[in-house]
């Protein structure tokens, strides 16, 4: 039966697929378990119920969609293949269905289903496979041979003492030289410091420097033509929109605060009404909204 391909696909997303006038393939859930040191993940295995044979439309609709045929034609294909399956069972008594299992006709004319337990229809266990528990290796004690002390040689001991005395004498001599050199350097530095402290420096008369500082005069009566992007009650939202416009290349800034306490964000604050209208037209061409605010 070719419809078993569609049945197989449906079982991954449905726990019950009814074949009209034949029976239903139902999924049974099995939790994870351990058997003979083998771990098995959760799975769903197919069972069969011949009592559920009323058409629920699931298989017919799926067949109609997948094969791009009408609902009526899909139903006819299912009924024809069901009749063919029943005839084959009456002759062969057993039919193998790939990836689903075997259907057998018993001596009492009852359908007996043997599922393929190698197929796991549980999508939550996709990619999980069984594995064996490896035995824990026990540590093995090893006898460690005792350390043997080297034989003591009196000649070698005297030689070590002699070399140590030479080393200490060498170190003491050079340490004496270093101390003398440090002492001489300190005396020379004291003499230089006394000469510097007693010296006088004449750098002459310094010229007078006249500095004239003027603060820039801001025109407080200046008029700005601000192209407004929006007004925000939240300072955080206003800040986000301001940064968004700056990232888009606008010279965005805040304007005077709204009388209602809102934070106005402008695409730009311009000194010319003509430039402001030109910017508004450009913004509206891009599908955005903007309006003019004259700040006196």
In the predicted structure, residue 122 carries a pLDDT above the cut 90: no
Question: What Cα–Cα distance (Å) separates residue 156 from each residue in 147, 153, 166, 169, 266?
Answer: 21, 5, 16, 20, 93
Q: Tell me what pLDDT residue 45 has.
A: 86
Q: Tell me what pLDDT residue 39 has.
A: 73
Q: Strand 23-30: give its sheet, edge to edge.
A: 16-19, 23-30, 43-49
**Per-residue pLDDT tens digits for 49-82:** 988 999 999 999 999 999 999 999 999 999 999 9
Q: Tell me what pLDDT residue 212 has.
A: 43
pLDDT over 90, % of the chain = 34
**Per-residue pLDDT tens digits for 174-212:** 555 556 665 665 565 566 456 544 444 444 554 554 544
Phi first, then psi, for residue 82 (nearest 5°) are -65, -45
The single residue listed with the structure tokens 């266990």 is 125
Mean pLDDT along residues 15-22: 92
Distance, CA of 24 to CA of 227 (rounded, Å)? 69
**Per-residue pLDDT tens digits for 138-153:** 555 565 656 655 545 6
Instruction: Give me the residue spans of the domains in the chain.
Output: 4-132, 224-295
In the predicted structure, residue 111 carries a pLDDT above the cut 50: yes
Query: 214-218, 263-267, 269-273: lowest mean pLDDT where?
Result: 214-218
**Using an 8 Å Cβ cutoff, are 25 and 15 in contact?**
no
Mean pLDDT along residues 224-237: 91
**Using an 8 Å Cβ cutoff, are 17 and 62 in contact?**
no
Query: 69-73, 199-203, 235-239, 245-249: lowest mean pLDDT where?
Result: 199-203
Q: Tell me what pLDDT residue 98 has.
A: 82
**Using an 8 Å Cβ cutoff, are 6 and 61 in contact?**
no
The single residue listed with the structure tokens 């990232």 is 247
For residues 172, 177, 181, 183, the Cα torsion angle rounded to the nearest 10 degrees is 50
In the predicted structure, residue 229 carries a pLDDT above the cut 60: yes
Q: Using alpha carbons only, how large is the chain's radius of gyration in Å?
A: 48
May I ask the CATH class of domain 224-295? alpha beta
Number of Cβ atoms within 10 Å of the Cβ of 204: 5
Q: Tell me what pLDDT residue 150 has.
A: 54
Q: Tell me what pLDDT residue 110 has.
A: 87
């Amino acid at each position: 039966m070719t419809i078993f391909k569609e049945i197989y696909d449906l079982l991954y997303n449905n726990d019950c697929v009814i074949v009209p006038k034949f029976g239903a393939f139902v999924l049974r859930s099995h939790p994870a378990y351990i058997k003979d040191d083998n771990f098995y993940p959760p799975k769903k295995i197919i069972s069969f119920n011949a009592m559920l044979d009323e058409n629920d439309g699931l298989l017919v609709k799926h067949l109609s969609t997948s094969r791009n045929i009408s609902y009526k034609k899909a139903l006819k294909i299912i009924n024809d293949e069901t009749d063919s399956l029943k005839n084959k069972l009456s002759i062969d008594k057993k039919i193998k269905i790939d990836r689903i299992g075997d259907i057998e006709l018993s001596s009492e004319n009852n359908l007996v289903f043997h599922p393929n337990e190698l197929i796991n229809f549980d999508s939550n266990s996709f990619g999980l496979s069984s594995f064996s528990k490896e035995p824990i290796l026990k540590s093995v004690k090893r006898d460690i041979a005792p350390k043997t002390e080297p034989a003591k040689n009196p000649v070698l001991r005297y030689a070590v003492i002699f070399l140590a005395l030479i080393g200490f004498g060498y170190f003491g001599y050079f340490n004496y030289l270093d101390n003398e050199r440090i002492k001489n350097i300190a005396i020379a530095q004291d003499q230089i410091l006394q000469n510097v402290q007693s010296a006088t420096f004449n750098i002459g008369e310094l010229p007078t420097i006249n500095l004239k500082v003027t603060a820039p005069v801001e025109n407080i009566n200046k008029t700005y033509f601000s192209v407004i992007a929006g007004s925000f009650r939240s300072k955080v939202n206003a800040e986000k929109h301001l940064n968004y416009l700056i990232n888009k290349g606008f010279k965005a800034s805040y304007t005077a605060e709204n009388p209602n306490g809102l934070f106005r964000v402008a695409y730009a604050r311009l000194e010319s009404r003509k430039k402001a209208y030109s910017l508004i037209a450009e913004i509206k061409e891009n599908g955005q909204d903007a309006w003019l605010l004259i700040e006196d």
